[in-house]
Structure 1
Amino acid sequence: MRFSETAIAGVMVVDIEPRQDARGAFARLHCPDEFAAAGHPFVPVQTSLSRNPHPGTLRGMHYQPGPHAETKLVRAVRGRMFDVALDLRAASPTYRQWTSAELSAENGRALLIPQGVAHGFLTLEADTDVLYQISPAFQPGHEAGVRWDDPAFAITWPTAPALISPRDATYPDHRA
């Protein structure tokens, strides 16, 4: 695996290094030792799948505030998506800034999203499946979010969403 820092501390792009031969390819998707060696120890305890049949589906911007804050490793295992991490850590020098990466089944890329950073994505093609590895386990009733188009963040999405949940569409504006 190759780890690349982004402009937001703790948000990392994780690229796979597939081994190929006549049979096809094999790639490691997660290894606690490699994450620790890269300075970002991460041992997932929960794995979830988001199925998205329609292009233009927007999910986000979601996070779990402390004490139930989560770290997530997110990747597209089918299809393609525009993935966004938004820093909501008030003490961070990149507070209210965002970064993005295109994740696809073809490129095998993942985004590591640390605690205190909101996450969302927009599917770029039909039948995009998103695999989440999470630690600690999700705690129902403690989820939170900010609106995908809140002017306080000025996230530049590649296109307007075609499908979004009422909850995600109506989060209030963020207050500093």
Structure 2
Amino acid sequence: MPSENPESENRKPLVGIAMGSESDWPTMEAAAMMLRQFDVPFEARVLSAHRTPEAMTAYAELAAERGLKVIIAGAGGAAHLPGMLAASTILPVIGVPVATRHLKGLDSLLSIVQMPGGVPVATVAIGQAKNAALLAVQVLATADERLANALVDYKTELKRFVSDMDERVRREEVGSRK
């Protein structure tokens, strides 16, 4: 698990990717890959809300001072990490419910999304760290024209991808009627 993306060695991370355990990395790696695609510097950390609450709180409290703008936090099971980070920082926190063996991530989703008033956590679908990274890029793009333009290009490519699929399916459907 890398601590930050090598392409941004000389730049301070703007996004923190936090997870409760190294076993969450296979899910959270999709966030790292998407941030790399947009050339957004990030760091990745294991911070347990239950096993290392002091380290987790210190990370959240110092995140803005260190230059982070958004925290993406993934956790499974009781999944308190995103909410506890949100309780300890003014930065936006995006929660990623990590799938579990027993409840397939539903427990994680409910734990993250059901936050009390005053402690918001933006929450993406179970296992969708890629969408969490895209949301982080969108937040950053409000003050970064390069990222805003890159998002426009990304969405244009998504439209092209769907259009190409539509064309292939339509050809097949039309071809099968003959």
Please, what TM-score do these two structures have when normalized by structure 1?
0.26
Q: Which protein has the larger Cα radius of gyration, Structure 1 or Structure 2?
A: 2
The structure that is strand-richer by fraction is 1
Higher relative contact order (CA 8 A, sep 6+): 1
The structure that is helix-richer by fraction is 2
